[in-house]
Chains A and B, each alone.
Chain A
Amino acid sequence: MKSKKTSQLLQQLVFVGPSALVFLVIVIFPFLLGVYYSFTNWNGVSRHAGWVGLRNYVHIFSADPQFLHSFWFTVKFTVLGVVLTNILGFGLAYLLTRPLFTRNALRTVFFVPHVIGGLLLGFIWQFIFVKGFAALGQSTGFSFFNLPWLGTDSTAFWAIVIVFVWQNAGYLMVIYISSLNNVPKNLIEAAQIDGASKGQVLRKVMVPLVMPAVTVCLFLAISWSFKLFDLNLSLTKGGPFKATESVALNIYNEAFNISRFGMGSAKAIIFFIIVAIISIIQVRATKSREVEI
């Protein structure tokens, strides 16, 4: 009896132990430590971190316009990024589930940007916005290409949106394709026999049945765009003059460029709370609109 108990304990340790241990050390403990730091003025180097209570939080909301600017930038970027990647991803998926000859090659092309990391993509597109577009503008005369893409606030914002959509639409497309392929053919046929038009089939039959995929895709796109970092760092570095600095980049600069680790931790906790609230609302809202077959 006793040996059975010890063998159960041993199994628990062997199976769950490693994951639980690294998870506690790398995620949970730093997270709690971060909550503590957010109430201090720690600079990252000194042994002593002075307790300042809520002062960091008060400062962020009352005397840090750059953080609020970063926040609005990130919100605007998220709204556009999520809507555009999902529309393009769904559109591509819808057409790729039709009988096209080049279906597989097209799918490969649309997906390939996603496998390249945001950091390298940002550098590639930096070249395209600075040199490539200028050259296209010269040869075609389209004023679109002659805009100072990374030079002004609004064009730099759109530059990041363009690259983000280009990078991620293909990933969402793959999820939408598998969901569209799972829509039972007989349901569509039944609707057509009942006299539904193409648009009605799409709206009344397909869309409700792909709602679970919409949940997943919205969730992914919100999470990617709200946590925008790599692409931001390499494409604009937050510029011009911090106009395109995402929240994640702002936290990073606060901590590792100006060494205000306490303040950075407070921002990190605010960032976490916002991400957590968005995730909860989002999952609740879309789960309730799903239908079961």
Chain B
Amino acid sequence: MGTTRRRGKWLAAEAIMIVIALIFLVPFYFLLVNSVKSFGDILTNAAGWPKSFLWGNYAEAWKLTAFPKVFWNSLVVAVVSNVLLALISSMAAYRMVRRDTRFNRLLFGAFVAAMVIPFQSIMIPLVKVVSTIGLMDSRTGLIICYLGFGAPLSVFLFHGFVKTVPKEIEEAGRVDGCSTYGIFFRIVLPLMQPMVVTVIILNALWIWNDYLMPYLILQNPDLQTIPIATYSFFGQFTKQWDLALPALVLGITPIVIFFLLMQKYIIEGISQGSVKG
């Protein structure tokens, strides 16, 4: 008796949760269903099922947004920035923990303090600095900006993790004739793998979706990433929902697929990052 009542109670909770989940999904329903309607159908019948499925909307949006190109641009920037950021920040954090000099302590303090600086607080002079060093309108410039602005949080996360790596293992490696570089790349970095995953996931979501940085650094349309291409597409085709909606579906598809494939790591990575942060 007691157990059935208990199960009944959780069933009620489950039903409520499923209803909330359906409400959460409503925006995606609107987006998908209307993306294959004709313009007239969208205006008169935005909530209903399409009268006919116009897959041509997608072909048109694919062409007009130059989707393969902007997807490639986003991918290159996100992957290169991520790999380099994880590499340089893990190296810096390792060194700062193991060589606790006054300089390193000061530098780490600066990294921690800089975590609170909002991007809008440095964006105006940043544009000036980037153009002075000749990296305006280049992918390299954008990537360097991500490395610099991403370094504080990444260094901070690695710094907390290096402390949990036992020194004894490193000493064993040294006795076996490993150099400092060998110890880092062969012993420490593999041991830090959970934090590497966390850092890469947090930075990947940020960089992939970031709008303002590439908007300020890049002008060449051939270098546009997905968010800036979407923004300028919307400026051009305001209220042309039969083109705008399929373009939005294309825009969100890569990151949603990435999430569904990597879900386990993403959820773990966020839990990890927050416990340490």
Chain A interface (Cβ < 8 Å from any Cβ of B): 8, 11-12, 14-16, 18-20, 22-23, 25-31, 33-34, 37, 44, 92, 95-96, 98-102, 105-120, 123-125, 127-128, 131-132, 134-136, 138-139, 166, 171, 174-175, 177-179, 212-213, 216-217, 220, 226-227, 229-230, 233-234, 247-248, 251-252, 255-256, 261, 264-265, 268-269, 271-272, 275-276, 279
Chain B interface (Cβ < 8 Å from any Cβ of A): 10, 13-14, 16-18, 20-21, 24-27, 30-31, 34, 42-43, 45-48, 88-89, 91-92, 94-96, 99, 104, 107, 110-111, 114, 116-126, 128-129, 133, 144-145, 147-149, 151-152, 155, 180-181, 184, 205, 208-212, 216, 226-227, 230-231, 234, 241, 244-245, 248, 251-252, 255-256, 258-260, 263, 266-267, 270-271, 274-275, 277
The distance from the CB of B64 to the nearest CB of chain A, in whole angstroms, is 15
**Considering the chains assembled together, what is the distance between the CA atoms of A34 and B119 in angstroms?**
12
For A23, what are the chain B residues with a Cβ–Cβ distance below 8 Å?
A: 110-111, 114, 148, 151-152
Q: Would you call B95 and A27 a contact (CB within 8 A)?
A: no
For B89, what are the chain A residues with a Cβ–Cβ distance below 8 Å?
A: 19
Known contacts A110-B24, A127-B31; A22/B270 CB under 8 A: no
The distance from the CB of B71 to the nearest CB of chain A, in whole angstroms, is 13
Q: Would you call B21 and A16 a contact (CB within 8 A)?
A: no
**Considering the chains assembled together, what is the distance between the CA atoms of A132 and B95 in angstroms?**
54
Q: Would you call B267 and A120 a contact (CB within 8 A)?
A: no
Q: Would you call A31 and B255 a contact (CB within 8 A)?
A: no
Q: Would you call A268 and B99 a contact (CB within 8 A)?
A: no
Q: Would you call A15 and B95 a contact (CB within 8 A)?
A: yes
For B216, what are the chain A residues with a Cβ–Cβ distance below 8 Å?
A: 256
In-complex Cβ contact of B230 among A8, A20, A37, A120 (8 A) = A120
Known contacts A31-B122, A119-B211; A11/B95 CB under 8 A: yes
For B10, what are the chain A residues with a Cβ–Cβ distance below 8 Å?
A: 98-100
For A92, what are the chain B residues with a Cβ–Cβ distance below 8 Å?
A: 17, 20
Q: Would you call A119 and B96 a contact (CB within 8 A)?
A: no
Q: Would you call A16 and B148 a contact (CB within 8 A)?
A: no
**Considering the chains assembled together, what is the distance between the CA atoms of A95 and B89 in angstroms?**
37
Q: Would you call B148 and A27 a contact (CB within 8 A)?
A: yes
**Considering the chains assembled together, what is the distance between the CA atoms of A101 and B111 in angstroms?**
44
Q: Would you call B91 and A18 a contact (CB within 8 A)?
A: yes
In-complex Cβ contact of A33 among B30, B128, B259 (8 A) = B128
Q: Would you call A127 and B30 a contact (CB within 8 A)?
A: yes
For B120, what are the chain A residues with a Cβ–Cβ distance below 8 Å?
A: 227, 229, 247-248, 251-252, 268, 271
Q: Would you call A98 and B13 a contact (CB within 8 A)?
A: yes
Q: Would you call A123 and B244 a contact (CB within 8 A)?
A: yes
For B104, what are the chain A residues with a Cβ–Cβ distance below 8 Å?
A: 16
For A166, what are the chain B residues with a Cβ–Cβ distance below 8 Å?
A: 24, 27
For B110, what are the chain A residues with a Cβ–Cβ distance below 8 Å?
A: 23, 28
- 22 residue pairs bridging A and B, Cβ less than 8 Å apart: A16-B96, A18-B147, A19-B88, A19-B89, A20-B107, A26-B129, A27-B117, A30-B125, A34-B121, A34-B125, A110-B21, A111-B267, A115-B266, A116-B252, A123-B230, A124-B27, A132-B27, A220-B274, A230-B209, A248-B118, A268-B122, A272-B116
For B210, what are the chain A residues with a Cβ–Cβ distance below 8 Å?
A: 117
Known contacts A27-B148, A31-B122; A95/B17 CB under 8 A: yes
The distance from the CB of A283 to the nearest CB of chain B, in whole angstroms, is 10
Q: Would you call A16 and B241 a contact (CB within 8 A)?
A: no
Q: Would you call B91 and A26 a contact (CB within 8 A)?
A: no
Q: Would you call A135 and B21 a contact (CB within 8 A)?
A: no
Q: Would you call B152 and A115 a contact (CB within 8 A)?
A: no
Q: Which residue of A lies closest to B21 (CB)?
A: A109
In-complex Cβ contact of B149 among A27, A116, A132, A179 (8 A) = A27
For A264, what are the chain B residues with a Cβ–Cβ distance below 8 Å?
A: 124
Q: Would you call B17 and A100 a contact (CB within 8 A)?
A: yes
**Considering the chains assembled together, what is the distance between the CA atoms of A25 and B143 in angstroms?**
13
Known contacts A25-B133, A96-B17, A234-B231; A118/B209 CB under 8 A: yes
The distance from the CB of B229 to the nearest CB of chain A, in whole angstroms, is 11
Give the residue among B14, B149, B210, B277 with the most A Cβ atoms within 10 A: B14
For A34, what are the chain B residues with a Cβ–Cβ distance below 8 Å?
A: 121-122, 124-125
Rank and list the top 7 A-B pairs by shortest CB-CB distance, nearest first. A26-B148, A117-B209, A178-B271, A15-B95, A135-B47, A135-B46, A19-B92
For A106, what are the chain B residues with a Cβ–Cβ distance below 8 Å?
A: 17-18, 21
**Considering the chains assembled together, what is the distance between the CA atoms of A34 and B26 in angstroms?**
43
For A111, what are the chain B residues with a Cβ–Cβ distance below 8 Å?
A: 259, 267
In-complex Cβ contact of B129 among A20, A25, A178 (8 A) = A25
Known: A131-B34, A272-B121. 12 other contacts (CB 8 A): A15-B92, A19-B151, A37-B124, A100-B17, A106-B17, A112-B259, A120-B226, A120-B251, A175-B274, A212-B275, A248-B118, A251-B120
